[in-house]
Structure formats: structure tokens, C-alpha cells
Amino acid sequence: MFTFENKNIVITGSGSGIGKAVALLFAKQFAIVHVVDINKKDADNVVNEIETAGGKAFSYECNVTNQQNVIDAFKKINRIDVLVNSAGVSHVGKAHTTSETDLDRLYNVNIKGVYNCLFAAIPLMQQHGGGVIINICSIAALVGLQDRFAYSMTKGAVYSMTMSVARDYLADNIRCNSVSPARVHTPFVDGFIAKNYAGKEEEMFEKLSKSQPIGRMAKPEEIAALVLYLSSDEAAFITGTDYPIDGGFLKLNG
């Protein structure tokens, strides 16, 4: 079960965090992994890790906000069996404290970046008889989170794009689903705490961990496992669905 032998898996933002965990897990399942990231060094490091473990992977320096950049990278890959849109950025702020510059930055990566990858990948999937698209969304798309105005806006768009693509490409044998994590323990979280709560790192880490009823943050590998399942032939009957993976956040808080 869950084998991806000889399948091309394209993962954006896979030089670190959730995207990296997804890349490593697919490699273990014999996939040909295409590591797409704006940071070439990070992408190369992930490829080296996969190859050292006996897997097969390729790296691409790609800015998802630039449509031609994405088209050129995806054309090199040609056949895309699975696309995982994991590239994303975050921002802390309310509506009146979010600058136009920050709003544009989040739009360009989290919304336009996903669109650019869909725009480039879907015709290739159509040419080769279908494929699977997994968008990394967030519980921020589904509930109000404090100080996450712009981030929540962009993830709401990712949710909507997921449903639209799932509907529009049923006849092309293209499935599209999204995964909505709560807080995930990544280097971004550690950097955010260090930057904003110097001297109170342990206290804030504990507080953020306990905002999930289960009492901890998710591990990137746990998100990757759900992405792997939804991308597999075993999940062939699943499309147009968002999957919260949130330690009980949506249903058990309050």
C-alpha cells in the first residue's frame, strides 16, 4: 500500500518545514521527488538527504510568485503525478496593523503562488491522464484566529481554490484536496518565538502548544503522513475535501 514507485511528486516550499517532511516521506515510498524551493541551498540539502538514503530526487530554485519561473521549472519535470502546494509565508497582525506591503507579500506567495503552480501543473496533468493536487491550507481558513488577518485571508483563498479545482477537473481525472493543520512545530515557530518573546521562549512555546486541546503542536511528519495518504491510489475516491489535522482545535476548544 501507498507506493509511489516511478511517480513524479512535485512539492513547493520543500526546502524546510512541512514541505521537507513531505518530500522525505514520499522518497521513502519510492517516489521520484522534485524539491521546489526559493532557496536553492535548502533544496539541494533535501535532495542530498534523500539520495543518501537511497532515494531519487531533483532540486529546482523557483520563486512561486513568478509565473514564468514556475512554468519553466514544471516543464523540465514534464509529467506531474502529484503536486503538493506547500510554499507559504505567515504574518502577525490585525486588519488595521497589517501594512499594504505585508498584505501584498502574503497574497503573492500564499494565493498567487498556489495559482501559478495550478496554472502550470494542470495542463501537464491533463496531457498525462490525470493527477493529484494537495494544497496545504490551515485552520485559519475556517475559524477566526487572533492577529492573523492577512494569513487567514490567504488560507481562505487556498480553501476556495481547492474546491474550485476539484469541481472543474473531475472529467480530467484530477483530484484536489487540502490539508488544514493547526500549529506545527517547524523552524519558523522557533524563530518567531525567539524574535518576539526573547527571554520567554519556554513559556511561550508551552502556551502555543497548549492552544491545541491535545496539548502539543503537530510534527511535520504527521502532516506529511496525511498528505501521502490523500495522494495515494488508496484515496482515489476522495476529492473536494479539506482535512483538518489540528489536535482537536476546531471541535474541542471551548
Please identify every residue annotated as catalytic: 151
8 A C-beta contact, residue 29 and residue 228: yes
**Grid cell listed for 241:** 475535501
Residue for cell digits 495515494?
Answer: 232
Listed in sequence order, the residues at least 6 apart from 79 whose beta carbon sits closer than 8 Å to its beta carbon are: 8, 124, 128
Burial class (CB within 10 angstroms; exposed 0-12, middle 13-18, buried 19+) of 137? buried
**Grid cell listed for 50:** 534523500
Burial class (CB within 10 angstroms; exposed 0-12, middle 13-18, buried 19+) of 228? buried
**C-alpha torsion sign, points 33, 36, 42, 44:** positive
**C-alpha torsion sign, points 157, 144, 135, 44:** positive
Each residue of 236-250: b (16+ CB within 10 Å) or e? eebbeebbbbbbebe
Interstrand relation of 242-245 and 82-85 (parallel, antiparallel or unpaired): unpaired
Q: How many whole angstroms from its chain centre is CA 128?
A: 23
User: What percent helix, strand, coil does the chain show, rounded to 5?
Assistant: 50, 15, 30
**C-alpha torsion sign, points 210, 215, 219, 221:** negative
